A and B are shown apart, each in its own frame.
Chain A
Amino acid sequence: MTAAGMRAAARKSLGLVGRPNYISRDYSKRHGGEFLSAPWCAMAVTYWARVSGNARAVLPKGDRAYTVWFAEDGRALGRWHAGTAANIKAHARPGAIVFFDWDGTDTIGRIDHVGIVEVNLGDGRVQTIEGNTADACKRRVRGPSVVAGFWNPPYTQEDDMPSAKEIADAVYERFTHKVSETHWASREGILDPDQKIAPHDALRQIWAYGKDGYHRDRDILLRLEALTAAVRELAAARDGEVDVDALMARIQEAIEGVTVRLDIGGGTE
């Protein structure tokens, strides 16, 4: 079940004119002769869904000739979008079932006509394929003034959407950046200028920094313990003679190499 298959089936009907036609005959075979010359826009969508193997996605409650019921099927699935420019722009995918009210409302009960979206034009309008548009099957361009709403059938393969891998790659790329010369890590010599940091590398870097930080903390702790021992020694010998120079040398040795960075900015670096 694919949107591409649905659109391909609709394209094959382009140029079909008049009624009865093979679409209304197909519907009439199953539902009665009264449909032979009935308005056939919804019958066309039904036909395209059946011949393209998309019936389960497009016709959740079976064949449709009555547009209002067809729209209600989509609403029952929780897939209905009102026909606003913003909704059309954001949600009308190729293969969507799109409904029209020539009076300009978004009310399902007032729907007059139906077609499928072939192309989302990206400006709040869609290019459609419609059966029974002036009693023919044609491509049309429709905007929010006549689109009452639409729904996207649950095609199993959303072939007009980026694949999961494409989305993952785009996200990965979005979170990947080059280290600039002015970046603090570059200035400190931790990273090379122009080095590429991807999410995977960044996680490894965080792990490495964490490990390094642990060892540094441990080193500082040992030095502080040595300092404490020196002070205790001084306190114990307060009544005796203390070699001040020797003690200062020991303290200096203990704190040598301890670096304290003062963070005074709120920047991201």
Chain B
Amino acid sequence: MTEKTEADLTAEGVDVHAWGPTESDEEAVLRSLYGEPDAGGIYRGAPE
């Protein structure tokens, strides 16, 4: 049996649902750390 390459392993099975379940209060936590997100919904800046 030929050993699978990293590319094969990366492409199959894993990472297929890379967003996954997040915490229910994620938005509130991020807002408390970084303020309002930008227009693209990205929380920027560095934490205090």
Contacts and interface: CB of A to CB of B under 8 A. Distances in A.
Contact of B47 (A15, A68, A119, A134): A119
Given A17-B40, A102-B17, A139-B43, 14 more contacts: A11-B44, A11-B46, A15-B38, A38-B7, A65-B10, A69-B6, A102-B21, A119-B47, A133-B18, A134-B18, A139-B34, A141-B23, A141-B29, A145-B21
A10 to B, nearest CB: 11
Q: Which of B25, B26, B34 has the largest number of chain A CB atoms within 10 A? A: B26
26 contacts: A11-B44, A11-B46, A15-B38, A15-B40, A15-B44, A39-B11, A42-B10, A42-B15, A65-B7, A68-B14, A69-B9, A102-B20, A112-B14, A112-B16, A113-B17, A119-B33, A121-B29, A127-B29, A127-B33, A132-B15, A133-B19, A138-B43, A139-B42, A141-B23, A142-B23, A143-B23
A201 to B, nearest CB: 37
Interface in B20-38: 20-23, 25-26, 29-30, 33-34, 38
B40 A38 contact: no
A112 B20 contact: yes
Contact of A141 (B19, B25, B42, B46): B25
